[in-house]
C-alpha cells in the first residue's frame, strides 16, 4: 500500500511539474537567451526580456517560444519526483527540524535529482539556444532529442551528456535549498501564526516565498551552467 502511494505521488509530482513547465516555458527560453547574450561593442543596446521574447515571436511565431520543450518535459519525469521524494525521506531521517537542517536536506536532494536529469537539461538548453539559429534561417545543431543525444555522445563522448553538471548541481543545491526548505518553513510559519488556515492560500503564499528565495539564490549558478551547457566540443555558440 505504501508502495502504491509512493508511485502515485511520483506520478502526480511529475504531471504537475510538466504542466508548470509548459505554462512557464516561454519565460524560461527568454531567460536562457538573455543568459547567452554577448555584446561585441559597448554601443550595442542591452537586451531585455520583452525585446527577446518579442524577437522570438516575430521571427518564429508561437512555436519559437516552445523550442526545447520536449527535453524539458522529459527532464521533469526524473528530476521533480526524485527531489521531492528524496527530500521527504531525508527530512524524516534528520533529527533537527531547524531551517538550516531543512536547507541542507533540500540541497542534497536537489543535487541527487539533477545529476540524474542533467542530460535532458543539457539538450533543453542547446535546443533553446538553437532557436536563434532557426530564427535567422540557419539550420539548428539538432533535429530533436534523439539526434541531440546521439550527436553529443558521438562528438563529445558519453560523459559529454553531463557537461556543466557541476554548476548545474550547485544551482540545484541552491534552488532546492531555497525552494523546498523555504516552502516547508514558510507554510508552517503562515499556519502557525494563523495568517490563514492550511489551505490553498497558505500553499500559494508559501510557494511565492519559496520561489523568490530559490530564484535569487540560484541565479548566478544558473547563468554559469547555461553558458557551459551551450558549449559544444569546446566552442561556444555566441548570441549577439
125 and 35 in a common domain: yes
For residues 175 and 228, state if they share a domain.
Answer: yes
Q: What is the pLDDT of residues 4-34, one digit of tens each?
A: 777 787 788 888 888 988 999 999 989 888 8
What are the beta bridge partners of residue 147? Answer: none
pLDDT of 177-223, one tens digit each?
878 778 888 888 888 887 888 888 888 888 888 888 888 888 888 88
Residue 239 has pLDDT above 50, yes or no: no
Q: Using alpha carbons, list the distances in angstroms from residue 4 to 8, 9, 79, 128, 225.
A: 6, 9, 20, 36, 36
CATH no. for residue 43?
A: 1.50.40.10
4 and 58 inside one domain = yes
Round to whole Å and give the CA distance between 226 and 34: 10
Same domain for 140 and 66, yes or no, is: yes
Q: What's the rounded Cα separation, in Å, for the pair 160 and 171? A: 19
- Same domain? 157 vs 169: no
pTM recorded for the entire structure: 0.75
| End-of-domain residue from the set 112, 138, 162 | 162
> Which residues make Cβ contacts (< 8 Å) with residue 85, sequence separation at least 6?
6, 9, 10, 13
Same domain, 207 and 96: no
- 50-100 pLDDT, tens digit each: 888 898 898 888 988 998 899 989 888 888 888 888 888 888 888 777 778
Say how many domains are in the chain: 2
By mean pLDDT, which of 121-130, 144-153, 192-201 is the weakest?
192-201
One domain, residues 3 and 117:
yes
- 140 and 205 part of one domain: no
Residue-number span of the structural domain to which 228 is assigned: 164-239
Structural domain ending residue among the three candidates 162, 184, 217: 162
pLDDT score of 171 more than 80: yes
Residue 58 grid coordinates = 516575430
Among residues 144, 162, 180, which one ends one of the domains? 162
> Within 10 Å of residue 150's Cβ, how many Cβ atoms?
11
pLDDT of residue 147: 92
Same domain, 96 and 5: yes
Domain match, 172 and 134 both = no
> Which grid cell is 29?
527560453
Are 42 and 124 in the same domain? yes
Does residue 44 sit in helix, strand or coil? coil
Cα distance between residue 166 and residue 26, in whole Å: 26
Report how far apart the first and last C-alpha atoms of the chain are (Å, whole number). 55
Please check whether residues 157 and 72 belong to one and the same domain.
yes
Amino acid at each position: 500500500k505504501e508502495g502504491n502511494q509512493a508511485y502515485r505521488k511520483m506520478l502526480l509530482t511529475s504531471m504537475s511539474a510538466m504542466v508548470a513547465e509548459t505554462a512557464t516555458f516561454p519565460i524560461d527560453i527568454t531567460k536562457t537567451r538573455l543568459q547567452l547574450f554577448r555584446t561585441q561593442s559597448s554601443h550595442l543596446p542591452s537586451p531585455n526580456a520583452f525585446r527577446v521574447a518579442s524577437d522570438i515571436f516575430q521571427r518564429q511565431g508561437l512555436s519559437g517560444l516552445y523550442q526545447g520543450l520536449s527535453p524539458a518535459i522529459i527532464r521533469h519525469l526524473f528530476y521533480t519526483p526524485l527531489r521531492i521524494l528524496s527530500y521527504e525521506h531525508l527530512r524524516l531521517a534528520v533529527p533537527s527540524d531547524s531551517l538550516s537542517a531543512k536547507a541542507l536536506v533540500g540541497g542534497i536532494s536537489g543535487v541527487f535529482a539533477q545529476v540524474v536529469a542533467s542530460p535532458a537539461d543539457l539538450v533543453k538548453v542547446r535546443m533553446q539556444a538553437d532557436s536563434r539559429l532557426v530564427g535567422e534561417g540557419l539550420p539548428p545543431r539538432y533535429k530533436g532529442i534523439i539526434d541531440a543525444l546521439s550527436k553529443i555522445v558521438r562528438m563529445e563522448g558519453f560523459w559529454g551528456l553531463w557537461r556543466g553538471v557541476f554548476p548545474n548541481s550547485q544551482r540545484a543545491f541552491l534552488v532546492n535549498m531555497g525552494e523546498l526548505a523555504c516552502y516547508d518553513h514558510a507554510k508552517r510559519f503562515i499556519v502557525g501564526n494563523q495568517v490563514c488556515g492550511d489551505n490553498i492560500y497558505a500553499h500559494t503564499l508559501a510557494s511565492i516565498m519559496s520561489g523568490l528565495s530559490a530564484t535569487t539564490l540560484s541565479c548566478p549558478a544558473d547563468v554559469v551552467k547555461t553558458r557551459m551547457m551551450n558549449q559544444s566540443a569546446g566552442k561556444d555558440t555566441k548570441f549577439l
